[in-house]
Structure 1
Amino acid sequence: MPSVSPLPVEVVDLFCGIGGLSYGLSLAGLDVVSGYDLDKTCAYAYERNTGAKFFFQDISKLEADEVLRQYSAEGIRILAGCAPCQPFSSYAFKNKEKDASKYDLLYEFGRIIKEVKPHVVTMENVPQIAAFREKDVLGDFVNLLESQGYRVNVSVVYCPDYGIPQTRKRLVLLASRLGDITLLPPTNKPEEYVTTADVIGKLPALMAGEADPSDPLHRAKALSPLNQERMRLTPYGGSWKDWPKELQLECHKKASGQTFGSVYGRMRWDKPAPTMTTQCTGWGNGRFGHPEQNRAITPREAALIQTFPASYRFFVNEDAVSITTASRYIGNAVPPRLGEIIGMSIVNHLKEINL
């Protein structure tokens, strides 16, 4: 891969998790040197797949000098930070028990930016952050960046437009002290969207509770006899609304339950999958039923939908895979393909200003 710049171009990734963003940025040709996260169980996957150093660190206690030591003395500093999105999600708007410390993490990211003064900043989060009612978190963040001399670009990305096979929407912020910076235009037209069939259609068939002996991540959760019957009666693309009344849950018979039409649903082969969450391998948590097989999707299927390559390693010992842990890792991650698009946008920006 040709050099991005004659100068070192180095990335530090805050809230790095298992490395979805870092991995994608590296695919674009950026040199990811380190990642920080408060979940130390992410260390193996992060270091194994990105080649960068993982630091177990509370970002609210991270000092600027520590971050600056990660960069070369003379080079272009890129700082990435995807603060946990749960407090800004649609669910959080309905939930009155919010954890204020989590949305304050974006202010901590701003503090580090102000002290480190990276040349380029990128932040990815849920679009609802722009309408967060508790504080104008995004507005405060943009104002801080502009006060420090950054040109800021904010885009709401529909992931299928960039070859990601899920209907996830994400807010992507790019900021530069070097000049104007923009996100690449969409790479896929609607007729070119990557579908569920494109990414998981050829995997070995499984029953609920079974695992593929050649791929420990391709393991499906078991279903109770009652849920097996419910799934058997769920048509292609359907949900609990297609069940006989005697099989429906009491909560779904109430007016409030009618709004959750996708839970206990099946995906469709011919469309992108729904947004992968930390509970995407549980059938009752969304439209996470396999299009044809009577089971929920597996961590392997979720990882492929998130655009992790099949070679990506999540555990030291993949013969002892925890479906719950794998789902959390995968659902919390930035899709690597989105990371690559962000990285390519930064590379184009540096080329445009001849750096």
Structure 2
Amino acid sequence: MKTAIDIFSGAGGLSIGAEMAGIQIHTAIENNKHAAETFKHNHPSTKVICNDITKVKSKELPKNPFILFGGPPCQGFSISNTKTRNTDNKNNSLFFEFIRLVDETKPKWFVFENVEGFTSFNNGKVLKELESKFNSLGYKVEHKVLTASDYGVPQNRNRFFMVGNNQGITYDFPEKAQKRVTVKQAISDLPKLTNGDNIDKLPYKKGRCSNYAKLMRTNSKESSQNHLSRNREYVIERYKHISIGENWKAIPPELMENYSNTSNCHSGIYRRLHPEKPSVVIANYRKNMLIHPYQNRGLSIREAARIQSFPDDFIFKGSLSHIQQQIGNAVPPLLAKAIFDKIIKVDNEYKK
């Protein structure tokens, strides 16, 4: 059995993708108690360590696992932190914790995940330093920015990945999928909801559904966690003015008077999702006020999870706001699966 350690695990997007590829998650490390609770619920056989990673010792982890993966919070890659390497600086230390645990557990493979902009931190010096560190530990590395919608995820989300191994194997990133999955294909079979609904179980809509929806529904007979934030009436009124694909600029100025300066509004605010395209990034979709393609409301937990490619039997724990953040922070499982599938393929070929 191919075993894994997931560090900075969050709710477990990378781990779901790894499990889809046939990897067993031995241990996960996550400091946020709500995300750790979500992880434990969905991976009952996994050892979940809810603690500051700087306090986790390698003796608590399996030695020589098949793979170690995770995405350190990106605050640790500021110019000053990288220059000083001050381990008293918590954000900076998280960067080196990944390196430390690779060094101490010596996995055959690792996957380091981060924001798209990772490649340009400190004019690329951080990336070069990371490569150098792993090379010195005996790892051959490859890196690339991937777009989730190229790998079956109904979302245009770019993430940086570095893949390394200590066998001298050259890793080529997976080929792109032939067709992209749209928002309509992703969520049109989910139940109709109204502003503020908080309904745990509802039947799927009757009729045909997309292959993507069938995949998400594999282990589920109904839609769960149909919960969404209750927006105030003036917010719903704003939604009514926004057509498919439009954002806050479509809202009449008199309805935006509580904004002191609308020129500071981000283009992603008040965006109505386009049903015939992959979604914009599902970050914290409540704060961004992302709008359902056809209904004048925000997205439910299950709709956002679908757009991130979490299967319908995946259950999130914590308050609604904590769950919304967990979903937004996650690596899309189907994107992760594509990476892990390719790792297993090249690893098996190397053994022959």
Fold equivalence (TM over 0.5): yes
Paired residue type of 1:281: R
Distance 1:268 1:77 in 2: 40
1:78-97 to 2 correspondences below 5 Å: 78-85=67-74
1:1-355 to 2 correspondences below 5 Å: 8-50=1-43, 51-67=45-61, 70-71=62-63, 76-85=65-74, 101-133=90-122, 136-189=125-178, 192-212=179-199, 214-215=201-202, 217-249=225-257, 251=259, 253=261, 255-257=263-265, 260-277=266-283, 279-282=284-287, 285=288, 288-315=290-317, 322-354=319-351
1:232 positional shift: 1.3
Paired residue type of 2:118: I
Distance 1:159 1:230 in 2: 30
Query: Does the residue aligned with 1:23 lie in a helix, a strand or coil?
Result: helix
Is the CA contact (8 Å cut-off) linking 1:88 and 1:128 kept in structure 2?
Answer: no
1:213 positional shift: 5.3
* Residues 254/263 of structure 1: CA separation in 2 closer, same or farther (3 Å cut): closer
Distance 2:341 2:68 in 1: 15
Paired residue type of 1:265: R
- 1:31-87 alpha-carbon deviations (Å, 9 max, x no partner): 2211111123333322332331111122112222222xx24xxx6531112112366
Point out where structure 2 has 5 or more consecutive residues left out of the alignment.
79-87, 203-223
1:251 positional shift: 4.3
Query: Does the residue aligned with 1:214 lie in a helix, a strand or coil?
Result: strand
1:126 positional shift: 0.8
Is the CA contact (8 Å cut-off) linking 1:13 and 1:36 kept in structure 2?
Answer: yes
* Residues 62/353 of structure 1: CA separation in 2 closer, same or farther (3 Å cut): same
Overall identity of the aligned pairs, in %:
31
Distance 1:174 1:263 in 2: 34
Distance 2:296 2:114 in 1: 33
1:253 positional shift: 5.0
Is the CA contact (8 Å cut-off) linking 1:88 and 1:126 kept in structure 2?
Answer: no
What is the aligned partner in structure 1 of residue 208 from structure 2? Answer: none
Query: Does the residue aligned with 2:68 lie in a helix, a strand or coil?
Result: strand
Distance 2:172 2:92 in 1: 25
TM-score in terms of structure 2 length: 0.84
Is the CA contact (8 Å cut-off) linking 2:76 and 2:94 kept in structure 1?
Answer: no
1:274 positional shift: 1.2
Distance 2:153 2:92 in 1: 27
Distance 2:144 2:126 in 1: 16
Distance 1:40 1:243 in 2: 38
* Residues 349/327 of structure 1: CA separation in 2 closer, same or farther (3 Å cut): same
Query: Does the residue aligned with 2:351 lie in a helix, a strand or coil?
Result: coil
Is the CA contact (8 Å cut-off) linking 2:7 and 2:30 kept in structure 1?
Answer: yes
1:256 positional shift: 3.8
* Residues 76/224 of structure 1: CA separation in 2 closer, same or farther (3 Å cut): closer
1:170 positional shift: 0.5
TM-score in terms of structure 1 length: 0.83
- 1:275-295 alpha-carbon deviations (Å, 9 max, x no partner): 111x2134xx15x11111011
Query: Does the residue aligned with 2:184 lie in a helix, a strand or coil?
Result: helix
Number of residue equivalences = 321
Distance 2:5 2:55 in 1: 16
* Residues 56/152 of structure 1: CA separation in 2 closer, same or farther (3 Å cut): same
Paired residue type of 1:280: Y
Is the CA contact (8 Å cut-off) linking 2:14 and 2:70 kept in structure 1?
Answer: no
What is the aligned partner in structure 1 of residue 83 from structure 2? Answer: none
Query: Which shifted more, 58-67 or 199-208?
Result: 58-67
Distance 2:58 2:199 in 1: 46
Distance 1:131 1:350 in 2: 30
Is the CA contact (8 Å cut-off) linking 1:16 and 1:36 kept in structure 2?
Answer: yes
Distance 2:2 2:259 in 1: 53
- 1:253-300 alpha-carbon deviations (Å, 9 max, x no partner): 55444xx223112000001111111x2134xx15x1111101111111
Paired residue type of 1:11: A
Paired residue type of 1:271: K
